[in-house]
Amino acid sequence: MGKTILLLVAVVLVAYYVYVPLPGDIEEPWKLMLQTTRLKVMMDLVSFAELLGINHYMDTIQILMKFQELPATSDENVTVTDTAFNSVPVRIYVPKRKSESLRRGLFFIHGGGWCLGSNALLEYDLLARQIAERLDAVVLSTNYGLAPKYHFPRQFEDVYDALRWFLQEDILERYGVDPQRVGVSGDSAGGNLAAAVAQQIVQDPDVKTKLKVQALVYPALQALDMNLPSYQEGLYFPILSPLLMTRFWSEYFTTDRTLEKAMLLNQHVPMESSHLFQFVNWSSLLPERYKKGYFYKSPTPGSSELSKKYPGFLDVKACPLLANDNILSQLPRTYIITCQYDVLRDDGLMYAMRLQNAGVHVTHHHVENGFHGAFTLHGFKISYRLQNQYFSWLMENL
């Protein structure tokens, strides 16, 4: 009897952890399933530790991720150094081969929900090396203060300070970067920060260097409506669930979980801010095919207590979709990757639409069998393909 129960429990556990209903057209499904199983086990252990009051969820994951960081190590093609720009830690990649002319410069911002990650993680280090080598570019990969230790606007400000430092004439000159060919890029929360600083730069009279491009990889762009079709569908998307995304968003602003609870009910935006819904209105901003089967319901206005305490979630520096058309129209040439099976899909789709409407040159690359994280999933075919397309776009446009 005891054995049977044990066996049953084992079968249920294995089924729960290994079986992830992946969409049918995803490549290398077994490999991805293995990856998501590992993630699921880790996340559940980490949640359990939080439940017991041992450690904050994000802090524990940060500790685990430390093991995947690499020191700054030059190779035969690229010189890699860690330094600080305006006291923000950055890693710089400079190609070793001789260059007759000034180089492209790319300012890169890693993802991780404003809580996790580092420029030293294996996948970001490899990516930055590849960009430096393939594009003959100087790559500046920045870090920034992470939640729960730091909240908005710290992440934004760190990135902005480092970018402004990089864009100074004498700094660009020191690294041999052409001031006419500097771009900004990032994935996920890094894409959010890239979009936010690109908007800030065009309004900053102190910054003389203009950005030539922004390349946004499945960026997070708004925290006002957590019930977009991609959030509703997202229960079965790999790697990033709507629940985790909501946790990341709320954690960006505060560790007080009442904000997260209100976000999950989609009742966090107060009545007096309801005019902002027009900027994230998927009913008017999504292409027809993504609206199919969903009915638009404007989020229910909540109390103004939360937004008084944590005004960040209504700030355009956190939610670049809230920018007006005048600001958008001044933005540089844009590359956006969105993935079909990604909670953040509709954020990217709406931004692409709004930028195009504002007259910005946009190359929108929608990946039909893509999912969140695909860009940096080391060793996966899809990652290789997405990165190659990203390199070619930069090669042509930066």
Ligand X SMILES: *[C@@H]1O[C@H](CO)[C@@H](O)[C@H](O)[C@H]1NC(C)=O
* Residues of the shown chain interacting with ligand X in the complex, contacts defined by CB under 6 A: 75-77, 277-278, 281, 283-284, 296, 298
Given the residues 118, 141, 185, 188, select the one marked as catalytic: 188
Least distance between ligand X and beta carbon 237 (Å) = 25
The question of whether 342 is a catalytic residue gets the answer yes
Q: Which is nearer to ligand X, 96 or 257 (CB)?
A: 96
Least distance between ligand X and beta carbon 348 (Å) = 19
Q: Which is nearer to ligand X, 225 or 342 (CB)?
A: 225
Dihedral sign for Cα 98, 102, 103, 109, please: positive
Q: Which is nearer to ligand X, 7 or 122 (CB)?
A: 122
Collect all residues with Cβ–Cβ distance below 8 Å to 398 and sequence separation of at least 6. Answer: 104, 106, 135, 137, 181, 183, 212, 213
Q: What 8-state DSSP symbol labels residue 241?
A: -
- Could you tell me the two tokens for 218? 């499945």
**Nearest residue to 104 (alpha-carbon basis) of 217, 219, 213:** 213
CB-CB contact of 271 with 304 (8 Å):
yes
Give ∠ CA 381-220-152 in degrees, rounded to 5. 130
Residue the block writes with tokens 């990757």: 337
Collect all residues with Cβ–Cβ distance below 8 Å to 111 and sequence separation of at least 6. Answer: 117, 186, 187, 188, 189, 190, 191, 217, 376
Least distance between ligand X and beta carbon 132 (Å) = 10
Q: Which is nearer to ligand X, 81 or 283 (CB)?
A: 283
**Other C-beta atoms lying within 10 Å of the C-beta of residue 257:** 13
318: phi then psi, degrees, rounded to nearest 5: -100, -30
Given the residues 187, 342, 346, 347, select the one marked as catalytic: 342
CB-CB contact of 112 with 189 (8 Å):
yes
Question: What is the side-by-side strand order in the sheet with 137-142?
Answer: 78-85, 88-95, 137-142, 103-109, 177-187, 213-217, 333-341, 362-371
Q: Which is nearer to ligand X, 180 or 300 (CB)?
A: 300
Residue the block writes with tokens 């909540």: 302
The question of whether 372 is a catalytic residue gets the answer yes
Q: Which is nearer to ligand X, 283 or 304 (CB)?
A: 283
Q: What 8-state DSSP symbol labels residue 248?
A: H
Given the residues 185, 187, 372, 383, select the one marked as catalytic: 372
Q: Which is nearer to ligand X, 76 or 288 (CB)?
A: 76
Least distance between ligand X and beta carbon 304 (Å) = 18
Least distance between ligand X and beta carbon 200 (Å) = 26
CB-CB contact of 155 with 252 (8 Å):
yes
Collect all residues with Cβ–Cβ distance below 8 Å to 246 and sequence separation of at least 6. Answer: 226, 260, 263, 264
Least distance between ligand X and beta carbon 98 (Å) = 14
Least distance between ligand X and beta carbon 278 (Å) = 4
Residues known to be catalytic: 188, 342, 372
